[in-house]
Structure 1
Amino acid sequence: MRSVPTIRLNKVLRELNLSLDKAISFLDGKGLEIEARPTTIIDDSVYNLLLDEFSKPKNSIINEPKSIIQIASPPINHDALELNKNIRIPDFDFDEQEELEEENQTEYERNKRVWHKYITAQEKIIDYRSLPVAINPNQKYTLEGNTLKIEVDQDIFKKIFKDEVETIFKIDTYDFDSDHILQDLEITEQINIEDLKNLKESASSKYIEFNEHPIIEGVIRERNSKSKGLEKIIGRISRNFLFNKEGLILLTQAEKEKVDILKNVSFEKNAGAVFPLFPNIKFLLSLIYKENSIQETGNRFTIFNGKIHNNIEAYLEKEIGLKRKRFLLIFQFPKNSGLEKKIKDLEKFKGIDLPTPENDAISFRIEVNSSNLNDTETRNSISLEEQLSHFKREYRRIDQIIRKYFPKKSYRTNWNVKYSYDGKQLRKFYSKNSDIELKFWDRIYPDIHGEEFQISSDKSTLSFDFQDFEGLESKKQSLRAYNYFYLEDYGTDHKFKFNIKFETGLHDLQKKLKINAESLSTRLMLNGQELRFHKHYKPGNKGFVRDYLTNVIREYIEDEKYDVYIDDTFKEKYLCVENFELKVEQEEEKLSKLKRESFYYGDKKNKKPLGRLQKVDYPSLEFFVEDENIEDLNKSLLKQEIKAVFPDLKGERDKILRLTDTVNKLESEVTLPNNNSRNFLFDSSMAKPIHDVDSLLDEQGNQWRLFEEQMLSQHLNTSQKQAILKSLHAQDLMLIQGPPGTGKSTAIAEIIWHHILENPKQKILLTSETNLAVDNAMDRIKTGSNNIVKPIRFGNEDRLASEGLFYSYETVVSFGSDLSFKEPNIVEHWVENVAKRVGNDENINNALNDWRSYLNGKDKEVRSIFTQQYLENVNLIGATGSSMGKLNSEGRYTSFFHSYLKVFNKGDYFPKIDYKKCNGIDIVFDTIIMDEASKATPPELALPIIYGKKAIIVGDHRQLPPMVDGEEIKDTLYSIGEKELASTLERDEFKKSQFENLFQNPNLDLSLKGTFNTQYRMHPAINDAVSQFYIDDGGLHCGLPLDEKDHQSFLEPSSRYHGLNYKNILTPETHTMWIDVNGPEIKEGTSRSNIGEVEAIDSILYCIKNSDGYPEYTKWLSTQPKEESEIGIISFYGKQINHLNKMIEKNHKDISTRLSTVDKFQGMERNIIIVSMVRSDKIAATTDQSPDFSLYESKGYPEQSSLGFAESPNRLNVGLSRARRLLIIVGNKDHFCKKEIYQNVFNTISDSTNGKIISSNIFKKTITTDEQ
């Protein structure tokens, strides 16, 4: 056997194609203990042992003498070589060949290929998201303490596009600031129209407006500029201001008052105030101490009748420069007590020295601070504890005198301690402790964020609108009531946002042109001082278009006020303008998704740590730099080595590793808790059926009756009972379809209850792909009557909802070990349940009260004992599926496995982890319950299931599929050159969830599936629109009592009455509406928007809040939880949500709304839901593009036929099924009704006595008439 140098374990694992677990297990059996990490260094003896055991068999061809080596025959089921589709061969269709090969694959092989493609797509997206971010080469870096500020290169998109323009148009140097491309006709005639269309597509992804058709452009200017008077007051106006079409300008109060005097300059009614926002010292102390009385002034604060613990004070001294400044004790006497005379008498007759009284002789004080000490040297040498000791001695002296010579209870004492701290260090402390910072945002959002004040955690700002400076001061005053943060107010230098308009008449002219020359594109510039216009033309049509422009403009302008210029060139001119606002908005949104990720610089093979992204204010990025990296970073900054930065995205890469490992385990022969899972996860018919299921479901049988006697909820319907009972008796697999509003969460709680009732010692995992879903499902388990279910939540506390924190392992441990811990938690709830179940025996109750008092903080040992008892009997774990696994990408134990060991194998974990034993421990659960399974990709669904002996999978394949943002993913894959992968993801097999594949398997035994068929959320009219999605599943029925559904009382639980009535457009009988909008959609980056629908929803909200019955409706809502009062506004596109949000901020702050994309709304419901469909049969390049029938004869815009995200009926189902009382669909009926399922929805609404169809034009006209 050859000798090898010392090597790492991972090299041997690769060489032998061996898993880490298998290698460690083998070496343990040989008595060799090594660390279970791929990077562990091993010696020759360990290498030789592994080689002997796991290399090729001794009778294999490898051991034959070289001279007689045989060439083995190829295996029958060999894998063909991978096609290189980048090389084209004449008359050979690669796609057809690949499809032919796929047709010859078995179902198992096809499934396996699909699973791998999902993982590959996710890997590519992660690679894309971790691409380097170019840094502005001309900036000055600022590194203050641990905070690094750098700027993104804003021109990177223009630089890339500039190269493309120069190549296609054969221009030596293209000037982007010209806003157009100018080239000779003889060159442009040679350009292929497809190249121009591709350039247009490229421009769109880079926030640039470009059209394949050339333009004739003109400009109208006012002869006397209005901006000169403004510049005299505030100095030169920046280009950004001049070209900001919204007219936004920043002014101080003094500047605003001067500008008010100018003629022909006006401001919009509302101004905006933005203040940097920071948690103050009181917030920090509120996290440490439950109750405290603190007064803060500047960087000093006083604690009344208390002080900070010494160890905490020492910690804060290091972290925020905390210094104790003084101790103050006040003896306070009532007025007219003769205090002053008594003090003088004591001094005169007894020689007793007391402090001079203050405040009309009713009090005097003792103060210990640096000024009490004799000299600087002494002050610096005396510790705070010595000062405190001196303070206590003085207090005792005076207290004894007063007790002796003054009447009892004639005074009271108050004492306080004054501290100072370093404000910069406090901010630095918050920025590097993101957990604490998150708690601040979690607190301030529900307290303040809403209609009046807006909070931005990304920018760390608080903003609000005001109408005058008196109103500004009033709002600032109201904010002072919240004493746990401070606003950075720059005083007289603070600038506020004002929308300024120059009254030139060009605004009215633009309106006239839009009405009378709608094919003309116009744009107001310089805040109303310049009106640019242009019109596209087809080849050979230039002269006609120029004459048209000349005639139109002359008809509507006054020659003496304006100068008009129209292009007069023989060259071709193409519009090329950057949409700066869109770029800022989308790039900031994209970068904000990377907040709290670690960034690096250099190349990815030799990356150097930069810091954690903590703030995004595009183009500015702010990072927190760890202390150990500051020196190296400073050197790199001095050498100007940082050209770009990139995120690591380790957490997402770890998830990919776990998904890959899951697929590998299913394909290998490694032992699983249920080896049959590698069969039924691909083919559900391979799961063992339930024997004699008819007897089990016999409602007169013993098993059914016993089940009903033990039910947790007495409100289950038959379909729920059947599915739950089946799940108890399934051995491998149970699949449950839970349509919206059918009580899925209630059923999951019931399933857990009955499983643990049967065996309290078993281990159950409740999992889903989202933290919120896990937290909500766990909260349904909490009851006030039993303790048999003992849940614990695994996961990062920062990402858990309040429901999840209640069950968190960390919360429970803190309760058991920290007497000051007061947060609600499951152990405390456990104790309360026991108390409730005990009878009225007075002796027992007294004992229980003693017990509770111990647990609430009087005895640390007893509290610890009960916590440990709880942890030793945990039988339910809640965790996201993607967090599961044993090892991460670095070969270290995952957070999940650490938690698993702490709960189920604590003897091997505490006090010091025994790696040898823990390496041999596998994650195993008796039952896995997976919720929202239809949203999981196949590997994501399989990941938790392979750790269980039995799987109960709950989902609804009629709702959102996996990769819900599939269209954006495909657009991204196309944009990064992964066209083949993007094309693959468009195939039918990727539009189905694995849950659907398993549930719809025609060979699946019926005993292993169940469907809930009765919903209790929606009014029957809304149910009728939704039920078509469930025809193949037996339909969806409304469980609301028919005689109560329209009961005209908001207090009736089953009533879905809303009572709104507006001019016969909306009536109390209306529960479904379709507002038909015929405007174009707009592609903005990878998203879409539809301004016509935004305007229609503006009218809808006006209609709702001006309806008869609205006051009664809102009066009832005021007594309900916040989510009840919110109008849910859903769209398939994030960009549309942005436009809607701006409209609501401007016009409807008085209405409570919840805006979200449809995928984020799954699982939620609201009384009123408005769905914005966005897609249309025509597409515009910009929001202000007008129809041009000379270019686009049919519709005035380029035509398009895609439904995009809405192509999937699942998305429509989710959107419609969120509504309880009123559902309003806003969309282009002609476009959507081309698809049968949308036509069915439209017909259902049209034919219903509770439905209404109305054109947005008629709707808007009615509203406009009312407003006038």
Structure 2
Amino acid sequence: MTSAAVESFVTKHLDLLELERDAEVEERSAVEQVREVNRFAFRLPLVTGRGGPRGDIVGLYDESGQLATGILTRITPKLVTVAFDESHDLQLSLDRENSYRLLKLANDITYKRLKKALITLKKYHSGPASSLIEVLLGGAAPCPASEIRKSCGFLLLIEITVDNIENAVTVGCFSRGLRMCREEMPGGGGGGGELVLTAASPAAPLTFCNASLDASQKEAVLFALSQKELAIIHGPPGTGKTTTVVEIILQAVKQGSKVLCCAPSNIAVDNLVERLARWKQRIVRLGHPARLLESIQRHSLDAVLARSDGAQIVADIRRDIDQLKNKKTQDKRERSDFRNEIRLLRKELKEREEAAALQSLTAACVVLATNTGASLDGPLKLLPDGHFDIVVIDECAQALEASCWIPLLQARKCILAGDHKQLPPTTVSHKAALAGLSLSLMERLAEEHGGSTVRTLTVQYRMHGAIMQWASQALYRGQLTAHPSVARHLLRDLPGVAATEETGLPLLLVDTAGCGLFELEEEDDQSKGNPAHAALVLKTAHSPGEVRLVSLHVQALVDAGVRAGDIAVITPYNLQVDLLRQSLAHRHPELEIKSVDGFQGREKEAVILSFVRSNRKGA
């Protein structure tokens, strides 16, 4: 691929990121709202992204200005929990008689990392990722699974299909110990013939770690391992995409590969950590501990370092620094000596911490992080170039392409997993989205290369066949089949659930036409009357009538024996989410009520959709 083409690609995405950044800043100032929490003024924008504001960066302010920055770890109707940044020079003391504000801060770090990755891509001339970059940007065709060319000019022919899936040998194995010999093709004529690699002795079939994988999952695993630069695992809803990704990682580790595993969100990364931890793998999770699930904290880099051999020495150095900082003296020379000693101790502390981090990262078979958390601004900068053999990006269809380039520049091969037929990357700027920002890397590559780089999982374990049928025909070319365990499964089949009209139907449609349940629209009060924000006033729809219908149906299911925790209520509009929570949360605390994108990737026994829209225009 020419440097001009790469530069054009990078320039386009830098411009799109700038549009997105500007739109995000304007939206935040336009829709900012204030909530009183005891004596604190809790001031945050309306939540429109996936997963709520947990993990957002906030600033703590009083009348004099900003006091500290931190990360939101938990929000309830009565409590806001913030993990403040550690600072050895700041003693944060709050007066309960004063009022404070928490403001969500624009996350400049993310945008800086995205831009840095794109600029690095433009300047990347030679390195471990060179061939991968050529393939991903269209400068070269991906090497197919049936034809892996080695630098020596040899050719290995292996065809992987569902028919021979049990006896297939992964191409990835031959470079790590599978004995090979050379055979000259007929008509070669001395040194001019094409050489073929064949097994010198029968190779054992691949042993899957998870014996319950179905045929399409096994084929996807073998395909991903056999591809030289690029493999895409397309996982429609309920088809076990994450299960397949975990198997791919486990097999890659068995072959001796070092894997960098990423996803666009913390929750998606934590899900992978939980799955991999069950297989007793040496894993390290990068990221601020406040953003990680409690269940996987022990795998965080901080926790791993705390258990390392040098942890006590590091703790002693920190204690010495604190003691020196607390020493008081009037003598100017002594103060200068203290400062010099602190400076030397901090230098030693940094060196020891980096050495311990390098040791832990090197020992790990799999390092996991969000796409932006895999930046070389963080701990990964300690590793040598080419340390990772494979980059795996889960939920790739929900990630901005620019974010994917942060990990992609660190390996020779990538495996992308997700479903580009579901939600695209979340964007704020409509203009940027139309210009290509909402086109994910996974979707772009799937369209460019077609089936040669894609394997689709076809057996779904989530939906009744009647629910699956429309999605399969409309989005997945009729490829999906329902596993027997769910094909005819009804709510009444659950233990302790009675047979009622509501529990005996796989799909119930409630037509509200003619019932007077029209939608209502409201604007954000803080934006009204501000000419600067006139173009940014957001309208959000809601339907109190539908809230009542949903409440009745939830109650009917609960009365029949369905656990509230097995029910989800989903709606496209945040205001409707708020109304539903106000109506239902106190009666059914375990009931999950979320927006469409907030529920992405999750599953429940029963899902109730509140579409809200109902007007005379039919729009």
TM-score under structure 1 normalisation? 0.35
Q: Are residues 1:883 and 2:394 paired? A: no
Where does 1:334-353 land on structure 2 (aligned, <5 Å)?
none
- Per the alignment, residue 504 of structure 2 pairs with 1068
Alignment partner of 2:160 out of 696, 704, 708: 696
1:725 is displaced (CA, Å) by 0.4
- 1:609–1:1150 CA distance, 2 compared to 1 (3 A): closer
SS in 2 for 1:929: strand
Which residue of 466, 473, 480 maps to 1:1036?
480
Shift of 1:774: 1.0
**What's the counterpart of residue 1050 of structure 1?**
494
Query: Aligned pair in 2 of structure 1 residues 613, 948: CA closer, same or farther (>3 Å)?
Result: closer
| Percent of matched pairs sharing the same residue | 20
Q: Partner of 1:1012 in structure 2?
A: 457
Aligned equivalents of 2:611 and 2:12: distance in 1? 30
1:874 is the counterpart of 2:321: no
Residue matched to 2:328: none
1:1028/1:107 CA distance change after superposition, 3 Å:
farther
Aligned match of 1:597: 58
Q: How does 1:450-465 map to 2 (within 5 A)?
A: 459=37
Q: CA deviation at 1:992?
A: 2.8
1:960 is aligned to: 423
Is the 8 Å Cα contact of residues 260 and 368 (structure 2) preserved in structure 1?
A: yes
Selected match of 1:1084 from 517, 523, 536: 523
The alignment status of 1:999 with 2:446, answered yes or no, reads yes
Alpha-carbon distance between aligned partners in 1 of 2:444 and 2:133, rounded to the nearest angstrom: 15
**In structure 2, what is the Cα distance between the partners aligned to 1:598 and 1:713?**
45
Asked if 1:1153 is matched to 2:591, the reply is yes
2:274 pairs with 770, 774, 779, which one? 779
Residue 766 of structure 1 is matched in structure 2 by 261
Q: How does 1:384-403 map to 2 (within 5 A)?
A: none
Please name the residue that 2:13 is paired with. 115
Does structure 2 conserve the Cα–Cα contact (< 8 Å) formed by 1:1022 and 1:1072? Answer: no
- 2:247 aligned residue: 750
5 Å matches for 1:494-505? Answer: none
Larger Rg, first or second structure (1 or 2): 1
Conserved in 2, the CA contact under 8 Å of 1:1087 and 1:1133?
A: no
Structure 2 distance, partners of 1:1023, 1:776, is 25
Alpha-carbon contact 1:764-1:876 (below 8 Å) kept: yes
Displacement of 1:818 in angstroms is: 11
Tell me the equivalent position of 2:299: 807
Aligned to 2:276, what secondary structure does the other structure show? coil
Letter in 2 for 1:664: I
Please say if residues 684 and 998 of structure 1, whose CA atoms lie closer than 8 Å, have aligned partners that are also in contact: no
The answer to whether the Cα contact below 8 Å between 2:284 and 2:367 also exists between their aligned partners in 1 is: yes
Q: Which amino acid aligns with 2:440?
A: S
**Per-residue Cα deviation, 1:883-916 (whole angstroms, up to 9, x for no partner):** 12223xxxxxx3x33xx63xx5xxxxxxxxxxxx
**CA deviation after TM superposition for structure 1 residue 815, in Å:** 3.8
2:395 corresponds to which residue? 932
Matched to 1:116, the amino acid is L
**Counterpart-to-counterpart distance in 2, 1:927 and 1:731:** 10
Contact 2:401–2:441 (8 Å) recurs in 1:
yes
SS at structure 1 position matched to 2:505: coil
- Structure of greater relative contact order (alpha carbons < 8 Å, 6+ residues apart): 2
Q: Is 2:102 the partner of 1:663?
A: no
Cα deviation, residue 601, structure 1: 10
Determine if contact 2:262/2:371 at 8 Å carries over to the other structure: yes
CA–CA distance in 2 between the matches of 1:807 and 1:588? 32
The answer (yes or no) to whether the contact 2:571–2:596 under 8 Å persists in 1 is yes
- Taking the aligned partners of 2:486 and 2:306, their CA distance within structure 1 comes to 50
In structure 1, the gaps of 5 or more residues are 1-76, 79-105, 132-156, 158-204, 208-456, 462-582, 638-643, 821-866, 888-893, 905-920, 971-981, 1052-1056, 1118-1123, 1178-1194, 1200-1229, 1232-1268
**Residue 289 of structure 2 corresponds to residue 797 of structure 1:** yes
Matched position secondary structure for 2:221: helix
Partner residue in 2 for 1:1134: 574
Q: Secondary structure of the equivalent of 1:689? A: coil
1:684/1:879 CA distance change after superposition, 3 Å: farther
Aligned match of 1:1095: 545
Cα distance between partner residues in 2 of 1:614 and 1:109: 36
Contact 2:136/2:445, CA 8 A, preserved across alignment: yes
The one-letter amino acid paired with 2:16 is: Y
Secondary structure, in 3 states, of the residue corresponding to 2:126?
coil
- Relative to structure 1, the CA distance from residue 460 to residue 877 in structure 2 (aligned partners, 3 Å threshold; closer, same or farther) is farther
Preserved contact between residue 260 and residue 367 of structure 2 (Cα < 8 Å): yes
Amino acid of the structure 1 residue aligned with 2:138: D
SS at match of 2:37: coil
The letter of the residue matching 1:767 is C
Change (3 A) 1:206 1:960: closer
Matched to 1:690, the amino acid is A
Q: Is the 8 A contact 1:1058 1:1068 kept in 2?
A: no
- Rounded Cα–Cα distance in structure 2 between residues aligned with 1:934 and 1:1043: 27
Give the whole-Å Cα distance in 1 for the aligned partners of 2:248 and 2:204. 11
- Find the aligned partners of 2:55 and 2:203 in 1 and give their Cα distance: 53
Q: How does 1:281-320 map to 2 (within 5 A)?
A: none
CA contact (8 A) 1:767 1:879 kept: yes
Shift of 1:1021: 1.4
The aligned length equals 501
Letter in 1 for 2:446: F
C-alpha distance in structure 1 between counterparts of 2:55 and 2:216, whole Å: 44
Distance 2:580 2:486 in 1: 36
Give SS of 2:425's match: coil
Secondary structure at the counterpart of residue 607 of structure 2? strand
Identify which of 438, 454, 471 aligns with 1:1026.
Answer: 471
Distance 1:748 1:614, change over 3 A: closer
Deviation (angstroms), 1:746: 1.0
- 1:611 matched to 2:68? The reply is yes
Task: Name the aligned partner's letter for residue 121 of structure 1.
Answer: L
Q: Point out where structure 2 has 5 or more consecutive residues left out of the alignment.
A: 148-156, 171-201, 313-356, 525-536
SS at match of 1:696: coil
Report SS of the residue matched to 2:605. strand
Distance in 2, matches of 1:1068 and 1:881, equals: 43
Looking at structure 2, the residues matched to 654 and 1155 of structure 1 have their Cα atoms a distance apart, in angstroms, of: 31
Q: Distance in 1 between matches of 2:584 and 2:438?
A: 34
Cα root mean square deviation, aligned: 4.6
In structure 2, do the counterparts of structure 1 residues 755 and 460 end up closer, same or farther at CA, with 3 Å as the change threshold? farther
Paired residue type of 2:276: I
How far did residue 120 of structure 1 move?
Answer: 1.0
> Aligned partners of 1:718, 1:622: CA distance in 2, in Å?
46
8 Å CA contact retained: 2:541, 2:573: no
Distance in 2 (alpha carbons) for counterparts of 1:773 and 1:1022: 25
CA distance in 1 between partners of 2:607 and 2:298 (Å): 31
Q: Deviations over 1:81-113 (max 9, x none)?
A: xxxxxxxxxxxxxxxxxxxxxxxxx98677445
Which secondary structure does the structure 2 equivalent of 1:1000 belong to?
Answer: helix
Distance 1:594 1:702 in 2: 44
Cα distance in 2 for partners of 1:746, 1:206 equals 40
Deviations 1:429-485 (A, max 9, x none): xxxxxxxxxxxxxxxxxxxxxxxxxxxx98369xxxxxxxxxxxxxxxxxxxxxxxx
1:354-369 equivalent positions in 2, closer than 5 A? none
Q: 1:1171 to 1:818 in 2, by over 3 A?
A: farther
Deviations 1:562-596 (A, max 9, x none): xxxxxxxxxxxxxxxxxxxxx99986879988975
Offset, 1:114: 4.2
* CA pair 688-1104 structure 1, distance change in 2 beyond 3 A: same
Displacement of 1:723 in angstroms is: 1.4
C-alpha separation between the residues in 2 aligned to 1:458 and 1:877?
Answer: 41
Q: Output the CA distance in 2 between the equivalents of 1:1165 and 1:879.
A: 24
- Deviations 1:269-293 (CA, angstroms, capped at 9, x unpaired): xxxxxxxxxxxxxxxxxxxxxxxxx
Q: Distance in 2 between matches of 1:792 and 1:717?
A: 29
Residues of 2 paired with 1:1083 and 1:929: CA distance?
A: 42
Deviation, structure 1 residue 1167:
1.1
CA distance in 2 between counterparts of 1:1021 and 1:683 reads 40
Q: 1:612 to 1:677 in 2, by over 3 A?
A: same
Aligned runs of 1:50-65 on 2, under 5 Å?
none
